[in-house]
Amino acid sequence: MKLSTRMRYGIRALMEIALHGGGRPVGLPEISKNQNISKKYLHALMVQLKNGGIVTSVRGNAGGYLLTRPPGDVSLYDIFTVLEGPAELVECAPDGRSCARYETCVTRKLWDRLGGAVRRELEEMTLADLVSECGESGTGTYEI
């Protein structure tokens, strides 16, 4: 399994909002500069995150993006499903509609277990957990 740049950059953008927002909207230019993500790509990510209910936007000179919930209420699974879709390792594992071998497939159970483990890890980790790890480094800076 390989995470796309959508997930990696999306988390970086959300961490920027969580760390530096302090209740104020964080603008696209600030996120783009601090995280070295192109404004065009970042804009597309933020639209997805807004449509998925993770962020909201504020218009105007002091506008930008805010989290819709506290960082502790935003799991990485929430972010993953908005940016990547379901956390399934193979398309045949969740149901048998896409594979004629579903009922007799020996590896299906393995894919189900692995997919479940990935999902549990993503569900258990929140944006607040990542933010708290930034403070533990002592530098206040972070890299993802």
pLDDT digit string, tens, across residues 90-144: 776 566 666 777 777 888 788 888 888 989 999 999 999 998 887 655 455 556 5
Amino acid 104: pLDDT: 79
Whether the CB-CB separation of 82 and 49 falls below 8 Å is answered with yes
Residue ranges of domains in the chain, CATH in brackets: 5-86+127-136 (1.10.10.10)
Which pTM does this prediction carry? 0.83
> Between 11 and 112, where is the model more confident?
11
Is 45 exposed, middle or buried (CB count within 10 Å of its CB: 0-12, 13-18, 19+)?
Answer: buried
Task: Tell me the per-residue pLDDT of 40-97, one tens digit each, with 9 for 90 and over.
Answer: 999 999 999 999 999 999 998 888 999 999 999 999 999 999 998 877 777 765 666 6
The CA distance from 57 to 81, in Å, is 20
